[in-house]
Amino acid sequence: MAKSLSTTALAKRLELPTKTLFERLARAGFLVREAERWCLTEQGRLAGGRNQHSDKFGEYVVWPETLKVPSPEGLLSVSKFSESTGLGRESLLGLLHEIGYLAPAPKGWRVTESGAAAGGVQQADRRNGAPYSLWPAALETDPLFKRALAQALGKDADKESTHGSIASFRAKFDAKYRTLDGHYVRSVAELTIDNWLYLAGLVHAYERPVRETLGQQDETFCSFFLPRGAIYIDYVEGLDADTLAARQSRYRQLGLKLIQLHLADLDNLDEVLPRRLLAFGIEVY
């Protein structure tokens, strides 16, 4: 197990001035200055940093001695990165949020654990502390981002519409029910749910692949997806107990937010959905 070092001790090992290392850790998004002290960020925790307490020094941050401090040099702001994607800045932020790489934060956006794994680096505006992110140009080769971007730009639309895992299902059950927001769904039950979401002012996608299963042999599709909160809503009426349990286990293993609805729920959506959405931090009405 790697030995843990304070930032001062790590600076000495790296033969750097302590101030320089603190600045590099801050630029990398590992530390943030709050109330005259350096505080560990979620990005820093993912890199191996942790808080430690001593009677002499109080609370301070320690790092694994093998820590490699990434440099923000070579990383791109969302505005700069958008120039090569074909999407505007705001649309790109929305896309990164939709695939789970960014999450809304006061005055800006924070990089999620998945986003950090994809190379995102958390930053904070020096003037007002507003959070923003930097990204490597290589993000364009990230499979999840690459597919989401292609869908956003309308590329490979024909290919997506006949994906092997759902082609036979779509052939058997045609989407013929038109909802209030213009979606075409496959059943009156789905129409009822879609209309409820629309009237509640909740942006949603229909029959969306679960992002963590994209490109896999067992790629999973969910009835509805709410970008706000990254919540999946699955209409599961008619599924046998084993299939239902397997789907629940799948979402649980992936750490996803899931609401499952049955036929009996449809007559009480005004009670059922607000309660379940509130459990995930989404307030309606």
Q: What are the tens digits of pLDDT across the range 121-177?
A: 888 887 888 889 989 888 888 888 888 898 888 776 555 544 444 444 445 457 788
Whole-number pLDDT of residue 165 = 46
Range 268-276 average pLDDT: 95
Q: Which of 32-36, 119-123, 194-198, 251-255 has the highest mean pLDDT?
A: 194-198
Give SS3 for 190. helix
pLDDT at 73 over 70: no
Q: What is the pLDDT of residues 186-217, one digit of tens each?
A: 899 999 999 999 999 998 989 887 776 766 66
Write down the domain spans for the chain. 4-64, 75-145, 162-278
Q: What mean pLDDT value characterizes the chain?
A: 83
CATH 1.10.3470 fits 4-64, yes or no: no
Q: Are strands 257-261 and 231-235 parallel, antiparallel or unpaired?
A: parallel
- Beta carbons of 247 and 239 less than 8 angstroms apart: yes
- Higher-confidence residue of 176 and 267: namely 267
- Higher-confidence residue of 91 and 43: namely 91
Quote the pTM value: 0.59
Whole-number pLDDT of residue 161 = 47
Q: What is the homologous superfamily of the domain 162-278 according to CATH? A: VSR Endonuclease (3.40.960.10)
CA distance 124 to 90: 18
CA distance 260 to 11: 51
Range 280-285 average pLDDT: 86
Helix extents (H) in the chain? 7-13, 18-27, 42-46, 78-82, 89-98, 113-117, 143-153, 157-161, 164-172, 188-199, 241-253, 269-278
